[in-house]
Amino acid sequence: MEKLVDNRYEIVRPLGSGGVADVYLAHDEVLGRDVALKMLNRERSGDEEFVERFRREARSAAALSHPNIVSIYDRGESGDGSCYISMEYLPGGTLKDRISRDGRLSPSVAAEVAVQISEALGAAHERGVIHRDIKPQNVLVTRSGDVKVVDFGIARAESDTSMTRTNLVMGTAAYMSPEQATGSETEPRGDLYSLGVVMYEMLTGELPFKGEDPIAVAMKHVNVPLRPPKEIAPDIPEKMNALVTKLLAKDPNDRPANAGTLIDELRRATREEARPKPEAARSPARTAAGPPVATRRTAPYRGNSRGGRGGPNLSSIVPWLLVVLFVVGVIVGGMFVLRILGGIALP
């Protein structure tokens, strides 16, 4: 691996690798900034059909300007002929790293992450770009905790060339839609199915389908009924459980119509989760893997207006006030009578 790529990008260290490309942290000597440099591996670099499609799709991906899509800066070839893409570098790691490190996410956090991924997908779908490989490894985390989707161009190029050439199904088996697993034409709702798998993993810490090999897993997406996420994590709200189950419907027509519809349903489910519950049904809020925690809507705050635990109860104070007033009245009245009688006795 050459240290300086295309006389511009100085390789700092590896960031990751996959079946298509290797990713490096590099420093752009021209613009003076760190970038993520994705370089096709030797096998793909020698495939002219794939390289040409990769170049075309890289141009399409570069046109996807959105806050939740990783920006592509440049593309070119290294000295040994390997194609590369220079893109925005995000030091926060991937969503997969976050789940592996911290476990499952709270429903509210998972919903916000899903909204941001949906925003990215909606922007891409409007331009006719389908990702085809939505998974936590392709969702990067920013310093502020927001997320950005990466690899639109490579995912599309890989899927199209492989399907055309060998009729193989490409993608990551654990996250692919039933239609993608069977080699059917992938539409935007296929990306929404994959997002449903990501949500399932965020909420439960587990994948909906597992198997001995990728083919077995892919066929489970096609044939095996889904175990609702709430059966694994009972604290998942009903609305969120129903939405994830809807996203993972075998029939694309049973899923949300598009990314915009999904965003509306996610926000509706989040709002309903946040609504105050009747006192009898209220339970302490819990973290993803911790004890009950306090919330702003606590009983002491309400007690100030309703006689709850947080303030004095007027019904218990009034009788004592009446007794005190009666005693004071008796004393004052007695003193008044004694003063009158004393005045009569004077000569």
Give the residue numbers marked as catalytic.
Answer: 133
- In the three-class reduction of DSSP (H, G, I as helix; E, B as strand; rest coil), residue 225 is classed as coil
The string over 159-176, giving b where at least 16 C-beta atoms fall within 10 Å of a residue's C-beta and e elsewhere, is bbbebeeeeebbbbbbbb
What DSSP assignment string belongs to 123-157?
HHHHTT---S---GGGEEE-TTS-EEE--HHHHHH
- Nearest Cα to 233, choosing from 208, 205, 196? 205
Sign of CA dihedral 97, 100, 104, 106: negative
What DSSP assignment string belongs to 140-208?
EE-TTS-EEE--HHHHHHHHHHHHHHH----S-GGG--HHHHTTPPP-HHHHHHHHHHHHHHHHHSS-S
Identify the bridge partners of residue 293 per DSSP, sorted by sequence position. Answer: 285
Q: How far apart are CA 140 and CA 77, in angstroms?
A: 25
Interior angle at CA 108, CA 106 and CA 113, nearest 5: 95
Q: How far apart are CA 153 and CA 168, in angstroms?
A: 19
Helix (H) or strand (E) holding 31: none
Helix (H) or strand (E) holding 74: strand 72-77
Instruction: Say if CB 131 and CB 149 are below 8 A apart.
Output: yes
